[in-house]
Amino acid sequence: MALIYHHYLLLFVIFLQLISRVAAFSSSLSNVNNQPSTLPQHKNIKNYNTALIISKVQTNNDILSLAKLRYQEWMINEVNPPILSNFCKATAEIYNERKDDGSIVFLAKLVHQSDDELVVGAAELSSIELQNCIFNSSNTNNNEVATPLYITDVVTSSTHRRFGIGTKLMTKVERVAVYELNSRIVFLHVEYENVAARKFYERLGYIDVSAGMEDCVDSGDTKKVISISLNEPSQSSVKDDKTVSQQHNMFTLDTKQLAISAGTVGQLLMMKRLSKESILKVDEDDISSQATPSIEAAATSKGGGFGKQQQVKQSRKTKKRKHRS
């Protein structure tokens, strides 16, 4: 009898441990797939003593937060999304590779008075996409030609829009481009049909450069190119760039190759000239002063560019490797 009692007692203990593990596993899945937030989600975040901080990705936790944000905004509604753990691993691998090549990723964090923080936006500033896209420079040296930069993978949390987060994120990116990287021109792509996004970037000073593109045949290959001055022309338009005097430093951009490198073929190319005077003077503690709700809500709603495509591809590879092992 004692032996039977001991047997049933052991089974009961095992049953309790099993229930505990299942509960813990379910909780971890919930935490990973739905990034938790103890921060208030209200139209006026300032009333809840919440500050917005834009900073560069520095730690492993930052990389994980970046991956979760991108997954939530890019992948969650996909028919066959990659496994989150694979996506996070791919994010870390790609981030480290691109960081070694000079890429900088920015995070927008809401920080509550209790020191809780939530990542609600991200963007990347890079020269990688522009490699092998710039040629025929005149009166310039290599350092000057390298000054144009590319902004990619701008994304904001769908649950925290209409607070000016996208505006402040872009402002921080531009400020670093000017003050730290000595850049005077930045490019980005946006989908043609995303009218709200185009208006958002136009409001920030970006212009459509398609009017200045010309066909150029090189070794039988037709390129779409545009000639741009590194100096500020008399008026900020591409047509003026084509007629500025030869004293200005010029470079030619292969826009077709840029779209291929960035994974944005078929999208609209926009450009902005930067100067210390043009950078918006935004108070980092006032996250609503520059908001334009109807525009910003849709401006960064779709992921695109190098990051999304490459991360999904990398995630699939990770999955296949696991299946083989």
* 53-90 pLDDT per residue, tens: 999 999 999 999 999 999 999 998 889 999 999 999 99
Report, as an integer, the average pLDDT of 123-138.
87
* Three-class secondary structure of residue 122 per DSSP: strand
DSSP 83: P
Report, as an integer, the average pLDDT of 286-307.
43
Give, to the nearest 10 degrees, the angle between helix 2-33 and helix 84-100.
Answer: 50
Report, as an integer, the average pLDDT of 183-192.
94
Report, as an integer, the average pLDDT of 86-97.
96
Please state which of the ranges 17-21, 274-278, 292-296, 303-307 shows the lowest mean pLDDT.
292-296
Percent of the chain exceeding pLDDT 90 equals: 43
- Residue 233: pLDDT over 50: yes
Instruction: Kindly tell me the burial class for residue 93, based on how many C-beta atoms sit within 10 Å of its own C-beta (0-12, 13-18, 19 or more).
Output: middle
Banded pLDDT at 160 (limits 50, 70, 90): confident
Joined tokens for residue 232: 């500020």
Report, as an integer, the average pLDDT of 202-229.
80
**Euclidean distance between the first and final Cα of the chain, in Å?**
47
Distance in angstroms (rounded) separating the CA atoms of residues 11 and 241? 80
- Cβ(250)–Cβ(135) under 8 Å? no
pLDDT at 247: 45
- Residue 112: pLDDT over 90: no
SS3 of the chain: helix, strand, coil, percent, to 5 = 45, 20, 35
Alpha helices, DSSP H, located in the chain: 2-33, 60-70, 84-100, 142-145, 165-179, 195-203, 238-243, 255-262, 293-299, 305-324
Q: Which residue has the higher pLDDT, 31 or 274?
A: 274
Distance in angstroms (rounded) separating the CA atoms of residues 44 and 64? 27
Ramachandran quadrant class, 195 (left: phi over 0; alpha: psi -120 to 50; beta: rest): alpha
- Residue 15: pLDDT over 80: no
- Cβ(109)–Cβ(55) under 8 Å? yes
Distance in angstroms (rounded) separating the CA atoms of residues 17 and 11? 10
Q: Which residue has the higher pLDDT, 243 or 39?
A: 243
Banded pLDDT at 250 (limits 50, 70, 90): confident
Strands 250-254 and 134-138: antiparallel
Model-level pTM greater than 0.75?
A: no
Give, to the nearest 10 degrees, the angle between helix 305-324 and helix 84-100.
Answer: 120
Percent of the chain exceeding pLDDT 70 equals: 59
DSSP 25: H
- Residue 117: pLDDT over 80: yes
DSSP 164: S
- Residue 321: pLDDT over 50: no
* Three-class secondary structure of residue 86 per DSSP: helix
Cα–Cα distances (Å) from 170 to 12, 19, 198, in that order, read 58, 47, 14
Report, as an integer, the average pLDDT of 262-286.
77
